[in-house]
Structure 1
Amino acid sequence: MPVACGRLIADGVEAEWLTPRDASVGMAILYFHGGGFRMGSVTSHRDLIARFADASRCAVLAINYRLAPEYRFPAALDDALAAYGFLLDQGFKPDGIALAGDSAGGNLALALMLALRDRGQPLPAAAVLMSPWTDLAATGASYQSRAEADPIHQRKMILALAKDYLGEDGDPRHPLASPLYADLAGLPPLLIQVGDRETVRDDSVMFAQKAEAAGVDVALEVFAGMIHVFQMFPEIPQARDAIASAGGFLRKHLHIRAGEAAQ
């Protein structure tokens, strides 16, 4: 998997380009890593992002947005807006940009699109969201029904991460902090992938239902037996299938044709 990596500062934000050998001209994916807004980095997610770039045949700009509790909401969103503006300044067109993210990064991808829409700015072509954390109030029934099956997240932990991100008096139902509570009309096509064992499963299911009701073109893929962001484990067949599906979705919406590569 030949993917070149290069670090840079994107309008004040630490970032890294991950570019596959056959990357298409004029297309970019802006990627946001997960980690509950408190941990994670491009380094921790580099392998996943590289496989994402390879599957989509597209260069990926991944950013190290500021983390809580030192930098609380909306610092991460401000960094996402800056990175998107950087891509536009570099000559990328909105219909040649897609977003992607896992867990808190999926939240951030959605918040970025909502903020752009509310500001009357052009939206990207599409977004892929892996186990997106859309509800910082953690109201989904899966927090109870999947509690014994999920080896990673329990509701108490999720609420503690939310408090770190929002601050003591922050509103977990703020639409740019919890996209589940936003007006979703006008968002571009979305692909949402989630594992059925996740306590956070219903963050995806409820969001997909609400997005569809708002007229958004949304596809939800629920993977039986899978845990949170299972795509990080390439040895799992379902992870390979999910990345392949995401790559196909992005190539479709970025209009990347077979064999199209950088000149």
Structure 2
Amino acid sequence: MIKHLLLLIMVLWVNTGHAQNITIRNFPVPNTASAEIGPLVSGQPTPFWNDHPQTRDEWNLWVSQIAQGTIKQLPDLREKMQVSVESTQFSGVPGFIITPKQVLPENRNRVLIHFHGGGYVLNPGEAGTDEAIMMAGYGQIKVISIDYRMPPDFPFPAAIDDAITAYREILRTYPAERIGVFGTSTGGGITLALMLKAKAQGLPLPAAITVGTPWTDMTKTGDSYFTHEGIDNVLVSYDGWLGDAANLYANGHDLKDPLLSPIYGDVQAFPPTLLVTGTRDLFLSNTVRMHLKLREAGNIADLIVFEGLSHAQYLMAVDAPETKRYFKESILFFNQYLAR
């Protein structure tokens, strides 16, 4: 089944020859890790972590190759999760409506909005729907996944502009108290930035949000950017493609702009937030810093840290107990705060 970015596309490595002097560090798989997740924990680093596309065409080719590896896995995932996927638009912003075969009675008037991960460059179109498919299937709730614009063609603020435009349109159908928003990595960062943007525009905020290992600081700030370098076998290092993607999307803007790095924003009156990370995650500090900031501002904020997991690995093995736990906890969290 789907292995997301780590295992899907080993043959698609685009080696641009920009080697970094990074020491890859391997540790035993914790005996608390499930048999299903163990091969991911012990796996070799993502083969494309140190790719450095230079031109517009190189970026687009790189993204397309990786996306094709993901898209091939989606029919089986949709079948397993018993969901249908329909492409649509929200005031001109493309997206997908994922509807489970069976919707729980309490979810009939609720919806979850999803933003995909991928460093603001990866997972365009259908390739960005895997997390949304699993949430819809496990949670038996309708999910809307937003296909926001990305660089190199559409740098900042295109993604957050699309997010707020789509959110405004969805508010025409669903009241805010019946809306939840979620996403992993960049998706978590956009979710948090959307809260800042919606507040600034006087829009009602959703009832709750879940942010998995969110990219809350696009600068290389935070302990785990350094202590987990070479340990996280998904992202590996900020100095691989990740840092290039940050600068490509920012397009000359200050990386500490709160709509790029929400950790620097005013998080007063944010909705209840569930944050998720792993002990080997390069974004561990991104997550725990945001958790503390939310709590210091008086918000409800819960934190789950998975033992042994690198960045977003709770999405990479659909049958793993860790994966099921992520969706179960997210669903319970949304169920606690969304109106029926």
Q: Structure 2 matches for 1:233-248, cutoff 5 A? A: 233-248=317-332
Match of 1:12 in 2: 92
Residue 334 of structure 2 corresponds to residue 254 of structure 1: no
CA distance in 2 between partners of 1:43 and 1:33 (Å): 10
2:90–2:166 contact (8 Å) kept in structure 1: yes
In 2, are the aligned partners of 1:33 and 1:42 still within 8 Å (CA)? no
1:56-71 mapped onto 2 (5 Å cutoff): 56-71=139-154
Q: How many angstroms apart in 2 are the aligned matches of 1:145 and 1:8?
A: 42
Matched to 2:327, the amino acid is I
TM-score, normalising length from structure 2? 0.72
Q: State the partner residue of 1:260.
A: none
- Aligned identity (percent) is 31
The Cα of 1:230 is off from its aligned counterpart by 1.5
Counterpart amino acid of residue 113 in structure 1:
M
Q: What is the 5 A alignment of 1:28-67?
A: 28-67=111-150
Report the equivalent of 1:261.
Answer: none
The Cα shift of 1:21 comes to 2.8
CA distance in 2, matches of 1:53, 1:255: 18
- Amino acid of the residue matched to residue 120 of structure 1? G
Partner of 2:227: 145
Aligned length: 254
Contact 1:28-1:58 at 8 Å conserved across structures: yes
**Greater alpha carbon shift after TM alignment, 182-191 vs 43-52:** 43-52
Q: Which has the higher strand share?
A: 1
Greater alpha carbon shift after TM alignment, 43-52 vs 207-216: 43-52
Q: RMSD over aligned Cα, in angstroms?
A: 1.3
- Partner letter of residue 159 of structure 1? G
Question: Which secondary structure does the structure 1 equivalent of 2:304 belong to?
Answer: strand
Secondary structure of the corresponding residue to residue 183 of structure 2:
strand
Uncovered stretches (5+) of structure 2, i.e. residues with no partner: 1-80
* Alpha-carbon distance in structure 2 between the residues aligned to 1:19 and 1:138: 38
CA distance, structure 2, for counterparts of residue 176 and residue 57 of structure 1: 31
Identify the residue that residue 249 of structure 2 maps to in structure 1. 165
Paired residues for 1:52-131 under 5 Å? 52-89=135-172, 91-131=173-213
Runs of 4+ in 1 over 4 A off after TM superposition: none
Q: 2: distance between equivalents of 1:253 and 1:55? A: 18
- Are 1:200 and 2:297 an aligned pair? no
> How far apart are the structure 2 equivalents of 1:22 and 1:217?
31
C-alpha contact 2:117 2:123 (8 A) present in aligned 1? yes
If you compute each CA radius of gyration, which structure gives the higher value, 1 or 2?
A: 2
Report if the CA contact (8 A) 2:177-2:339 is conserved. no
Q: For 1:84-134, what per-residue CA distance to the aligned partner results, in whole angstroms no more than 9, with x for missing partners?
A: 111122x21010111011111111111111111112111111101111100
Task: Please give the alpha-carbon distance, in whole angstroms, between the structure 1 residues aligned to 2:95 and 2:180.
Answer: 16
- Gap runs ≥5 in structure 1: 257-263
Please say if 1:3 is aligned against 2:86: no
